[in-house]
Amino acid sequence: MVANTTTAAATPAVGSSQSSVPASAAAAKRTYSSAQLEVAMSESILRTVVRANEVRPHNTTRNYAPKQKEWREWAEEKGFDEMSRYQVTSQKLHLFLEDRVLHRAPKRTKKKATHKDDVTPKTLSDSTVRLYVAAIIDLYTQQQARGVNSAPHPRPGPVRMLLCTRKLEERDRKKREYVDRGIGTALDGYTLAQFGQVSNYFIQRNSEVGFRDRLAFLISHFALLRGANARNLELADVHHLQLEGEGPSDCFAVVLLLSNGKTNQAGRVEYGSFLRNKDAFVCPVGALALYLFSRFHHSAEPFPNLSHSSKWYDLKVIKAPKSLTESIDEQTHSKALDAAFKACGVLTTAKTHAARKSGAQLAESGGASEAAVRRAGRWNQTTMETCYLTRLPRPVLRVHAGFHQDGGSYFLRRDIQPPQVLLERIFPQADAWERAIETGQAADGSSVETNIAARAFVRLLIR
């Protein structure tokens, strides 16, 4: 009887307003029609496409946008059907490459040859042709995401065949066009002697800008950085790490935290590092100290407020002249290196990338193994390296600093202990901030955030 009563109470009568589904949920289900849901889903996808374009690397947009614009202009000139004029298909992409890309001259040409008979026409390299394909396929991907292109992927078939053919013809193209055969070889860079000359060139400018450009060059060489890596560095990315067992002299590494770069768009933790060098004239630690000293003393830049990460995390290392939170642009960086290379007789097709390339070559010639150079340049990434190891390839650090790769010989003749009163005058705020970070309280009683990066930065300044 009780069970029957319970069942009857739990089961609503026919026609009753009661329901096992809450009224609000039922109302929510009836809110949108099928057409409205379709629109909502389309808008959701569109927001993702727009956001993906906004957050992707600036260099990607800079390289793709002109080529996609060129595609649209070509499609208009050809007079394709207006409804599908800009849609990317395999046949259209193949015709575009053949019509506009394969046989045209580079837009950015070198200075005209002085020899009157040198009129050999130049065409685009294989890598540039492939960049065009990547840009147009990116446009195809966006069209598919928006639901305005249902064509198959354009790369397989004729386009892939064309690219393979072009690759096989690349050697003949270079020979036919008399392309410089030294490009991309071991000669395309600087020697150890020229490396020292470039460093001296910057320091002889005797200005903070010269100190800045010298620092950017030296850390790019020793930490094997791309130009963008060096420019994007912030003070919070510069750390101190003590190294034991390296030799008679006290040894520490300056560790650079690299959380973004050409091959690291997702913020994966990577490191660049270097030691004090046997040769003081090319020492990256000395270059960093000299540049920061100039900023905090000669330029009267306020010492960073380390009480909270929001007050100093945005401060750049290689900063623009009129901003503490903006780095120098790529053009400024490239022009500075170009002037230095010309003054020192360095011939290289790369400017901001030359230090990474020559730094790796000089490390190898100094005795560092290929595996160590790979780790130093972040050319191999494993889960163990990414998550657990310090990833400081000591053999490369030792060779770069002027010592034997096997360790135990680290000795700096200039490594003497300066008077404490002198040390306290170089970065006088550093000791106070170290105590404040450890205790969580500044001298005036205000609270200070416990921050690992802040402590590592301060300890570097104290050293």
Provide the residue ranges of all domains of the chain, joining segments of one domain with +. Answer: 35-109+117-176, 192-462
pLDDT top residue among 375 and 153: 153
> Residue 460: pLDDT above 90?
yes
Q: Which CATH class is domain 35-109+117-176?
A: mainly alpha
> Residue 206: pLDDT above 80?
yes
- Reduced to 3 states (helix: H, G, I; strand: E, B; else coil), residue 310 is helix
If you average pLDDT over every residue of the chain, what do you get?
86
pLDDT of 185: 79
Per-residue pLDDT tens digits for 94-152? 999 999 999 888 876 655 545 555 567 888 889 999 999 999 999 999 999 988 999 99
Q: Does domain 192-462 have CATH number 1.10.10.920?
A: no
Residue bearing tokens 């506009």:
100
Residue bearing tokens 């104290």:
462
Cα distances (angstroms) measured from residue 275 to each of 48, 196, 246, 402: 44, 17, 11, 10
Contact (Cβ atoms closer than 8 angstroms) between residue 288 and residue 215 = yes
pLDDT of 417: 85
Per-residue pLDDT tens digits for 62-93? 899 999 999 999 999 999 998 899 999 999 99
- Reduced to 3 states (helix: H, G, I; strand: E, B; else coil), residue 216 is helix
Between 30-39, 107-116, 205-214, 267-276, the lowest mean confidence (pLDDT) is in 107-116
> In the structure encoding, which two tokens stand for residue 258, read together?
């690299």
Average pLDDT (282-299) is 95
> In the structure encoding, which two tokens stand for residue 249, read together?
């002299």
pLDDT of 15: 46
User: Number of H helices and number of E strands within the chain?
Assistant: 19, 3
Q: How far apart (Å, rounded) are the C-alpha atoms in residues 224 and 234?
A: 17
Average pLDDT (178-196) is 87
- Amino acid letter, 230: A
List phi, psi (to 5°) of 242.
-75, 135
Write b or e for each residue in 335-365: b if 16 or more Cβ atoms lie within 10 A of its Cβ, otherwise e.
Answer: ebbeebbeebebebebbbbbbbbbbbbbbbe
Measured in Å, how far apart are the chain's first and last C-alpha atoms? Answer: 87
Per-residue pLDDT tens digits for 410-442? 999 998 888 888 888 899 999 999 999 999 988
- Reduced to 3 states (helix: H, G, I; strand: E, B; else coil), residue 372 is helix
Contact (Cβ atoms closer than 8 angstroms) between residue 287 and residue 211 = yes
Average pLDDT (256-274) is 75
pLDDT of 117: 54
**264 pairs with which residues across the strands?**
261
> Residue 283: pLDDT above 80?
yes
Q: Which residues contact 406 (CB under 8 A, 6 or more apart)?
A: 395, 398
List phi, psi (to 5°) of 229.
-60, -45
> In the structure encoding, which two tokens stand for residue 173, read together?
């193209």
